[in-house]
Amino acid sequence: MFDVVVVGAGFSGLYLLHRLREQGLSVRVLEAADGVGGTWYWNRYPGARCDVDAVEYGFSFSPELDRTWRWDERYATQERILEYLDHVADTYDLRRDITFGTRVAGATWDEGAARWTVRTEGGDELTARFVVMATGCLSKPKKPDIPGIESFAGPTYFTSTWPHEGVDFTGRRVAVIGTGSSGVQAIPRIAEQAARLHVFQRTANFIVPAGNHELTEDDHDPDTLAARRASGMACPLGLAFEFTETNLKNAVDLPEAERTAEFERLWNRGGLPMMLGFADLLVDERANRMVAEFIAEKIRRRVHDPEVAAALIPSGFPVGAKRLCVDIDYYEAFNRDNVKLVDLRATPIERVTPAGIQVGGTEIPVDDLVLATGFDALTGALTAIDIRGKDGLRLTEAWEHGPRTYLGLCVAGFPNLFAVAAGPGSPGVLSNMRVSIEQHVDWITDCVRYVDEQGMGRIEATEQAQDQWVEHVREVGDTTLFPRANSWYVGANVPGKPRVFMPYIGGVPVYREECAEVAAKGYAGFHLTPA
Ligand code: FAD
Ligand code: N01
């Protein structure tokens, strides 16, 4: 029997393994992939990179890693992040406790023995006192329901499970379906290679420029790094950002020139902090429309053909309520002769045929189909596992009407089970994920130590604490514009998924304090019992 079984070997699973082992616990990590990396193992599409500054995205817990690793660009490529996570695994000799190529099919709680039995798809069983699901927030790809898609005769590539050997699109007629973050990153790179690229856009997204650039040794200076990390800890989104007096004001209260100057400054700075520009951008429709119009004007300037520009301007949902995309040369791709935008709002896809995609009665010939169609986010990887808690309660039953967690970390009825940063009810996906992952892992490992030190064998969130947290997450979400978009944050991209705004929007610092307080009060809201 292990003390802890961890499922997943991405950022979360790797740090968990390191921390739990440091505590002297026996740990086994089970990972479906053949290597470490999680997101960065699977998503190898052209153009894939982080959209949080790499120096902030890398782990903060290890002076050793700070000393031995250098990021080369502001936004590291997928290859570089995967190299980094391999370096983390090497540095801490993590692979010896990871079983690769092993997908977990189920986990069943034995109340009498106070232990979990974890079952793999291969039929192996492991027992453990605790299980931590480090299965990822965006790790369960979602296939689009498009008539005829299975009949396509050429190769179909999912951005989320891209072939390791890469794909050469030279001379090919390529179709990309999907214009979320993955599509926005892949499209300019595919456009550079393909003979012809059709981009099938159902919803135009709000996109801000990356402002990518090379990094120097100064960017890795220990004091600079420490300052950035401290700034990230204080920011609701976990991003290093020097708030000015202006950023604490409401956009609607400022003269237009002053407001536009700040939008312009943040636009030129590049990246996700665009949404930190003013206090009211994500809560007041009027302020949100101001930033929407600012972005629309940028699109009009970047895209030469006014009709194409108009189709690329998002409408019908607030800026930021769907995950903001960050681009390198996205709009410029539509100025190329070999790229054509197909606006599915005007002409929906009728069907995929063996030789192409039929739209408005015309078949567009296609050699290669690229699906950048997203994920069953937050809950997908968890509900794909047959998790059974007390009295055989299935997680899918407990979450029938939407996910319910305490702090995004635990679920009532499922003792000694934790989820990392992916748990609905946590701020993870609204933050620089590394910040949330480290905080979650630290909290979970402290919790396991506390249970052991108290001579307890079992910890479970109470229904009451969970109900209060779920209500709090909903209430805070409802004060914002987030629930108004059909986003993966509310599960709208998966037919039949209950519509619930899943992440906690209270911000990283508030959430961290809340978690710390729960721990300081002897894990308030949890029921601890001897084994
Ligand atoms: P993951 O990296 O998703 O790892 C989960 C692992 O669990 C996977 O390896 C998976 O194979 C494994 N697993 C799942 N289910 C099972 C099972 N049943 N059995 C065995 N193994 C299983 N976040 C940011 O903050 N900044 C970014 O710039 C950013 N860029 C992103 C780009 C892309 C393309 C995507 C998809 C996501 C991005 N994210 C970003 C979010 C990203 O997922 C997190 O930053 C982070 O990598 C999550 O790490 P994780 O270890 O929690 O999960
Ligand atoms: O997925 P998405 P993603 N017909 O769900 C379209 C992170 N990430 O992989 O909006 C036609 O955002 C769908 O259209 P619509 C980041 O958190 C980060 O791009 O549903 N189109 C949409 O355009 C991100 O939010 C980076 O109308 C269909 C697209 O497919 C998250 O991962 C990079 C369709 C899916 O967009 C997910 O991003 C990549 C259909 N039947 C990912 N079904 C960084 O930059 C779906 N679509 C760091």
Based on the number of CB atoms within 10 Å of its own CB, is 96 exposed (0-12), middle (13-18) or buried (19 or more)?
A: exposed
Alpha-helical segments (H) within 164-235: 181-193, 222-234
Say if residues 332 and 305 touch (Cβ distance below 8 Å).
no
Q: Is residue 375 in contact with ligand 2, taking CB distance under 6 Å?
A: yes
Residue-wise pLDDT tens digits, 415-464? 999 999 777 899 999 999 999 999 999 999 999 999 999 999 999 999 99
Say if residues 36 and 136 touch (Cβ distance below 8 Å).
no
Residue-wise pLDDT tens digits, 262-288? 999 999 999 999 999 999 999 999 999
Residue-wise pLDDT tens digits, 359-377? 999 999 999 999 999 999 9
Give the Å distance between the CA of 181 and the centre of ligand 2. Answer: 6
> In the prediction, which pLDDT does 101 show?
98
Q: Is the pLDDT of residue 407 over 90?
A: yes
Domain boundaries, the chain: 2-139+376-530, 149-371
Q: 452 φ, ψ to 5°?
A: -65, -45
> In the prediction, which pLDDT does 421 show?
73
> In the prediction, which pLDDT does 240 show?
95
Q: Is the pLDDT of residue 69 over 80?
A: yes
Q: Is the pLDDT of residue 201 over 80?
A: yes
Based on the number of CB atoms within 10 Å of its own CB, is 263 exposed (0-12), middle (13-18) or buried (19 or more)?
A: buried
Q: What is the torsional sign of CA 170, 176, 179, 180?
A: negative
Strand partners, 119: 106, 125
Q: Is the pLDDT of residue 67 over 90?
A: yes
| Closest ligand relative to 84 C-alpha | 1
Give the Å distance between the CA of 483 and the centre of ligand 1. Answer: 24
Whose CA is closest to atom 4 on ligand 1? 38
The average pLDDT across 60-80 equals: 98
Residue-wise pLDDT tens digits, 300-348? 999 999 999 999 999 999 999 999 999 999 999 999 999 999 999 999 9
Give the Å distance between the CA of 457 and the centre of ligand 2. Answer: 42
Q: Which fold has domain 2-139+376-530?
A: FAD/NAD(P)-binding domain (3.50.50)
Residue 391's contacts (CB-CB under 8 Å, 6 or more residues apart) are 111, 413
Please tell me the distance from the alpha carbon of residue 371 to that of residue 257, in angstroms, as a whole number.
41
Quote the distance between the C-alpha of residue 512 and its chain's center.
19
What's the token pair of residue 472?
């709090």
Whose CA is closest to atom 25 on ligand 2? 323
- List residues near ligand 1 (CB under 6 A): 7-13, 30-33, 38-39, 41, 43, 48, 50-52, 57, 103-104, 134-139, 182, 381, 385, 420-422, 432-433, 437
Please tell me the distance from the alpha carbon of residue 467 to that of residue 38, in angstroms, as a whole number.
31
Whose CA is closest to atom 38 on ligand 2? 181
Say if residues 178 and 374 touch (Cβ distance below 8 Å).
yes
> In the prediction, which pLDDT does 423 show?
73
Instruction: Name the residue of 11, 202, 343 whose CB sits within 8 Å of the most ligand 2 atoms, as the mutation to test its pocket.
Output: 202
Whose CA is closest to atom 10 on ligand 2? 203
What's the token pair of residue 456?
């307890």
Please give the share of the chain, as a percent, with pLDDT higher than 70.
100
> In the prediction, which pLDDT does 2 show?
98
Please tell me the distance from the alpha carbon of residue 81 to that of residue 192, in angstroms, as a whole number.
23
Instruction: Name the residue of 57, 145, 323 whose CB sits within 8 Å of the most ligand 2 atoms, as the mutation to test its pocket.
Output: 323
Residue 6: which pLDDT band, with cuts at 50, 70 and 90?
Answer: very high
What's the token pair of residue 514?
């809340």
Q: Is the pLDDT of residue 531 over 90?
A: no
